[in-house]
Amino acid sequence: MNRQELIAQIRRKRSYLCVGLDTSIDKIPPHLLEGDQPVLTFNKAIIDATRDYAVAYKINTAFYEAQGIEGWEIMEATLKHIPADCFTIADAKRGDIGNTSEQYAKTFFETYPYDSVTVAPYMGKDSVAPFLKSKDKWTIVLGLTSNEGSRDFQFLPVSDNELLYEKVLKTVASWGTPDNLMFVTGATRTEQLAHIRSILPDHFLLVPGVGAQGGDVASVSKAALNKDCGLLINASRAVIYAGNGADFAEKARMAAQELQEAMALYL
């Protein structure tokens, strides 16, 4: 999916909601455990329930890799079930020496045809460049994360007037374009979001942390929307675990609709 197609979906659905499929078998409704492939059944129901309100789905690959071959098969089946008009994200946080990154890019852009993959930039340009070669694919680079440990490194000064995360954003942005690069910026870092938008006026930002982690649509939107929207706000637990009974899919739909309606006010 290219930039204009993504923007068109945002405008059509009046939404920039990304639903995170961080599905844990320990958290899905108990009645699903009585059937075959309960995780896949759950994922399909969540996708069907939220597809009218979401423009993107983010599959956290760790939740599937941990299950071995069956997990990879469930991930593939989940990916195939996502509607073609929705942007797909492999939340894999890869990044390694060039020839290894080439294989990671092949994995998530060809073998499993995601629209995008999250990448860690710590090893530098040659670890990111292979992901940027694919047409109409996106590399989503970790910029400023919302976890507690982010302050261990991301806020270290690298000069008198620049922090490490700022250096990362500026440097990585020069390796690609707003057509193939996005950046992860946590919703709980709203005090930095406006500043990040000033550094990256045209790039899309993937913003996790809305809902269970304490971020909210209003503060993120006010700080970081641009002329093309420029945002994908991810909600995982707040949507997929909105209910735990037989009506779990309806509860997920209601949670997604509530977020979409909040987003529509800013479009």
Please give the helix or strand (H or E) that residue 20 lies within, else none: strand 17-21
At residue 216, the pLDDT reads 86
β-pairing, 231-235 with 162-163?
A: unpaired
β-pairing, 54-60 with 138-144?
A: unpaired
Backbone angles phi, psi at 214, to 5 degrees: 105, -5
Under DSSP, the state recorded for 201 is S
Query: How far is residue 98's CA from residue 115's CA, in Å, rounded to a whole number?
Result: 20
Burial class (CB in 10 A: 0-12, 13-18, 19+), 202: middle
Both structure tokens of 206: 């993937």
Which residues have a catalytic role annotated?
93
Query: How far is residue 49's CA from residue 247's CA, in Å, rounded to a whole number?
Result: 11
Cβ pair 38, 248 in contact under 8 A? no
> In order of start, what are the domains of the chain with their CATH numbers?
3-264 (3.20.20.70)
Report the first-to-last Cα separation within the chain, whole angstroms: 21
Sequence letter at residue 32: L
Q: Compute how many other C-beta atoms are within 10 angstroms of the C-beta atom of residue 234.
A: 29
At residue 57, the pLDDT reads 98
Instruction: Give the residues across from 117 on adjacent strands.
Output: 90, 139
| Dihedral of alpha carbons 232, 233, 235, 238, sign | negative
Distance of CA 30 to the CA centre of its chain: 27
Cβ pair 189, 144 in contact under 8 A? yes
Q: Write the DSSP assignment of 204-250 as a string of letters.
A: EEEE--BSTTSB-HHHHHHHH-BTTB-EEEEESHHHHTS--STTHHH
- For the chain (length 267 residues), average pLDDT per consecutive 10? 98 98 95 94 98 98 96 98 98 95 97 98 96 96 90 92 95 98 84 92 92 76 96 95 97 97 96
At residue 213, the pLDDT reads 57
Cβ pair 23, 39 in contact under 8 A? yes
